[in-house]
């Protein structure tokens, strides 16, 4: 970049978040920091026999919640401040101190859950039988529901001692993948060194020779260490099976899904439903082959751009107007809160020297959420804005309607509100291009509108491919290999490669050449070291798309149910909350609905191509 970045001082205050809403100055932060320390001391003293009687329990829970809430504010402030300009050492030191405070607090609370587990049901219910503590029933139910998988104190201690050994596989993989992996240099790029980041970037290049070279070089390394990487992954599988068996679970899947109380049915439904509609993915690949105009479609063509880049410049002011319109279908209650979010000091808009990259929404209970952006005046930035504002509104409504303990939400539902907003934005922007096309424009305007529409639809289709289809394929791979491991079958590199290559063929279909090299792709996916995690991307995406369809119907009850979901935070289990919003993830319908939406957009894209839109 030739343009130099502005320093933070040079940016007008209206474009920065109002961090003073958390703490007006460093002194007030320090006061609360000391308070948290004092609360931790009290936890250590008073916590020892908090289950002695009802009064001690009540007093301790007050302390527990006060410490948690105050700590959160301190921690969030320290990190937000750090992200404003990471070159300021004062900010970095404050964030480090907050990190240490976190360890101190969690160490002080280590006794908490085991003590609760030891209580018999009647005693705990007795403790919760009061006006002040009654609302905590769900919170404790969420702890005690895993009781039958919790072992004796001695056995738990042994398991805890074994955990560094169980983590070894992941450490070895990370060392290989991040420190030692040497992919060589690229001839097509004047001997530029190939890295993970460049793999991602160059796979989207228009230069097919470059894509092929990148693909071959990248996977050659994983092929070279195929046996080693298989052994590392299999040892991860074995540690997972060890814990599942030790804790009395039927399977490793059951164990992992239990943490959010998700039935295995939800997982298998996803896999079965996507599998039953793979014809859609095959159709998309056929379309891609045609649109790219290639004789053979290869795995290195999968990220090649289908449509020219969108060059339309969109200022932040314009972006705000667009997203306002896009969410207007959600009604006054939502749009009022949204407007407050756009203008009320939530958002840190522009890049500045030392600012953290990327985008997120984050916050502390009792204060509005904060949204970090690095706005670039392009279409992607509009999607980022509405996505992060989706998170922010979810937090806002939950904080306004839930007590501190239930204000946060689980990963299983975390991307629902953000993805749903993106779906509303797509729909809105496409309707705008359709209006332009209908208004009998001259040929130049019409061509521009069709190109815009193609850019939008393409963006959405790619999201479906990478989130719904690809993550489900990963989920199916995990399901298969964990099942084999659970049954004690032997697994080696050849078996893993074979399973993966077959899945790749099944998912992409006959119009895609499943190049041999792709069979080792499983060995480069870091997420496989967090078993049964990725499926949540696909289920969350499906739920969001299904909800957007309900919202766009304009039915007030359906919109009301969705707002109810946004207000519910973590007051119930994720599946229950989504059910109340109108999507039952125990059934196949939400995934089917999402796949139907994919089919609709694919038809639009095919039509645009036939009409030679670009
Ligand atoms: Zn997100």
Predicted confidence (pLDDT) per residue in 151-203, tens digit: 988 898 898 888 888 889 999 999 999 889 999 999 999 999 999 989 999 99
Ligand 1 center from residue 370 Cα (angstroms): 14
Domain assignment of residue 613, yes or no? no
Ligand 1 center from residue 182 Cα (angstroms): 31
The reported pLDDT for the residue numbered 375 is 95
How far is Cα 264 from Cα 440, in angstroms, rounded to an integer? 53
Identify the CATH number of the domain in which residue 12 sits: 1.20.140.70
Q: Which residue has the tokens 């521009």?
A: 448
E-strand ranges in 124-241 read 185-186, 192-193
Domain assignment of residue 28, yes or no? yes
Catalytic site residue from 69, 170, 388, 476: 388
Domain assignment of residue 204, yes or no? no
Rounded to two decimals, what is the model's pTM?
0.92
Ligand 1 center from residue 408 Cα (angstroms): 15
DSSP letter assigned to residue 569: T
Residue 1 has pLDDT above 50, yes or no: no
Would you give the end-to-end CA distance of the chain in angstroms? 30
Domain assignment of residue 114, yes or no? yes
User: Using an 8 Å Cβ cutoff, are 399 and 361 in contact?
Assistant: no
Domain that holds residue 20: 8-164
The reported pLDDT for the residue numbered 2 is 40
557 CB contacts (<8 Å, ≥6 apart)? none
Residue 246 has pLDDT above 50, yes or no: yes
- The domain total for the chain is 1
Domain assignment of residue 25, yes or no? yes
Chain mean pLDDT for the chain: 94
Average pLDDT score over residue span 297-324? 92
User: Using an 8 Å Cβ cutoff, are 514 and 504 in contact?
Assistant: yes
Domain assignment of residue 106, yes or no? yes
Ligand 1 center from residue 418 Cα (angstroms): 6
The pLDDT tens digits for 487-509 are 999 999 999 999 999 999 999 99
| Angle between the N-to-C axes of helices 264-276 and 470-486, in degrees from 0 to 180, rounded to the nearest 10 | 120
Ligand 1 center from residue 466 Cα (angstroms): 15
User: Using an 8 Å Cβ cutoff, are 65 and 404 in contact?
Assistant: yes
Ligand 1 center from residue 359 Cα (angstroms): 9
Domain assignment of residue 571, yes or no? no
DSSP letter assigned to residue 201: H
How far is Cα 308 from Cα 446, in angstroms, rounded to an integer? 16
The reported pLDDT for the residue numbered 440 is 76
How far is Cα 183 from Cα 222, in angstroms, rounded to an integer? 9
The reported pLDDT for the residue numbered 245 is 96
210 CB contacts (<8 Å, ≥6 apart)? 186, 188, 189, 202
Domain assignment of residue 565, yes or no? no
Chain centroid to CA 368: 21
The reported pLDDT for the residue numbered 3 is 61
The pLDDT tens digits for 404-446 are 999 998 889 999 999 999 999 999 999 999 999 898 778 888 8
How far is Cα 199 from Cα 21, in angstroms, rounded to an integer? 42
Q: What is the CA radius of gyration of the chain?
A: 26
Q: Which residue has the tokens 């529409």?
A: 453
Q: Is 121 a catalytic residue?
A: no
Distances (CA, A) of 428 to 104, 266, 406, 418: 48, 31, 33, 16
How far is Cα 397 from Cα 337, in angstroms, rounded to an integer? 8
The candidate with the shortest Cα–Cα distance to 409, out of 393, 387, 433, is: 393
Ligand 1 center from residue 416 Cα (angstroms): 8
The reported pLDDT for the residue numbered 309 is 78
Band (pLDDT 50/70/90 cuts) for residue 391 is very high
The candidate with the shortest Cα–Cα distance to 566, out of 394, 340, 352, is: 394
309-338: buried (b, 16+ CB within 10 Å) or exposed (e) per residue?
ebeeebebeebbebbebbbebbbeebeebb
The reported pLDDT for the residue numbered 163 is 86
The reported pLDDT for the residue numbered 612 is 58
The pLDDT tens digits for 557-596 are 999 999 999 999 999 999 999 999 999 999 999 999 999 9
Average pLDDT score over residue span 62-67? 97
């Amino acid at each position: 970049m030739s343009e130099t970045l502005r320093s933070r001082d040079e940016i007008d205050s209206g474009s920065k978040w109002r961090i003073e809403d958390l703490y007006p100055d460093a002194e007030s932060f320090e006061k609360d920091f000391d308070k948290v320390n004092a609360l931790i001391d009290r936890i250590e003293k008073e916590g020892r026999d908090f289950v002695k009687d009802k009064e001690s329990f009540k007093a301790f829970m007050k302390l527990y919640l006060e410490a948690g809430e105050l700590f959160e504010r301190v921690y969030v402030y320290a990190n937000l401040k750090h992200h404003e300009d990471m070159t300021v050492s004062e900010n970095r030191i404050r964030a480090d101190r907050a990190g240490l405070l976190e360890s101190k607090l969690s160490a002080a609370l280590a006794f908490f859950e085991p003590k609760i587990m030891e209580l018999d049901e009647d005693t705990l219910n007795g403790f919760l039988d009061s006006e002040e503590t009654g609302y905590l029933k769900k919170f404790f139910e969420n702890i005690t529901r895993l009781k039958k998988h919790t072992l004796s104190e001695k056995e738990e201690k042994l398991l805890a001692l074994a955990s560094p050994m169980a983590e070894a596989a992941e450490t070895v993989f990370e060392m290989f993948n991040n420190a030692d992996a040497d992919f060589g240099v690229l001839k097509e790029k004047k001997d530029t060194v190939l890295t993970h980041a460049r793999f991602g970037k160059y796979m989207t290049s228009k230069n097919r020779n470059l894509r092929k070279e990148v693909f071959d070089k990248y996977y050659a390394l994983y092929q070279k260490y195929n046996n080693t990487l298989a052994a590392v992954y299999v040892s991860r599988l074995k540690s997972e099976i060890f814990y599942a068996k030790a804790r009395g679970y039927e399977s490793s899947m059951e164990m992992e899904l239990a943490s959010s109380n998700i039935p295995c049915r939800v997982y298998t439904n996803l896999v079965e439903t996507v599998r039953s509609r793979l014809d859609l993915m095959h159709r998309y690949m056929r379309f891609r082959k045609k649109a790219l105009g290639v004789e053979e479609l290869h795995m290195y063509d999968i990220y090649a751009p289908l449509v020219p880049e969108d060059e339309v410049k969109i200022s932040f002011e314009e972006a705000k107007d667009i997203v306002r319109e896009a969410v207007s279908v959600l009604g006054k209650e939502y749009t009022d809160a949204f407007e407050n979010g756009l203008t009320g000091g939530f958002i840190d808009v522009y890049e500045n020297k030392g600012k953290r990259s990327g985008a997120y929404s984050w916050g502390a209970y009792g204060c509005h959420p904060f949204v970090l952006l690095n706005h670039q005046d392009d279409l992607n930035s509009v999607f980022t804005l509405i996505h992060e504002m989706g998170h922010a509104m979810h937090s806002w409504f939950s904080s306004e309607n839930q007590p501190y303990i239930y204000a946060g939400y689980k990963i299983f539902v975390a991307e629902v509100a953000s993805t749903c907003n993106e779906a509303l934005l797509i729909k809105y922007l496409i309707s705008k291009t359709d209006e332009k096309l209908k208004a009998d424009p001259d040929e130049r305007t019409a061509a521009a509108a069709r190109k815009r529409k193609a850019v939008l639809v393409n963006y959405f289709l790619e999201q479906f491919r990478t989130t719904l289809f690809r993550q489900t394929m990963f989920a199916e791979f995990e399901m298969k290999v964990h099942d084999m491991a659970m049954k004690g079958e032997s697994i080696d590199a050849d078996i893993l490669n074979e399973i993966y290559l077959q899945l790749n063929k099944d998912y992409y279909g006959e119009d895609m050449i499943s190049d041999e090299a792709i069979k080792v792709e499983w060995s480069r996916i870091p997420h496989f070291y967090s078993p049964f995690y990725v499926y949540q991307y696909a289920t969350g995406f499906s739920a969001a798309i299904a909800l957007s369809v309900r919202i766009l119907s304009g039915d007030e009850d359906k919109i009301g149910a969705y707002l109810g979901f946004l207000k519910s935070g973590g007051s119930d289990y994720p599946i229950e909350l989504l059910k109340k919003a109108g999507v039952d993830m125990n059934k196949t319908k939400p995934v089917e609905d999402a796949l139907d939406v994919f089919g609709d957009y694919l038809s639009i894209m095919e039509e645009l191509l036939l009409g030679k839109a670009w």
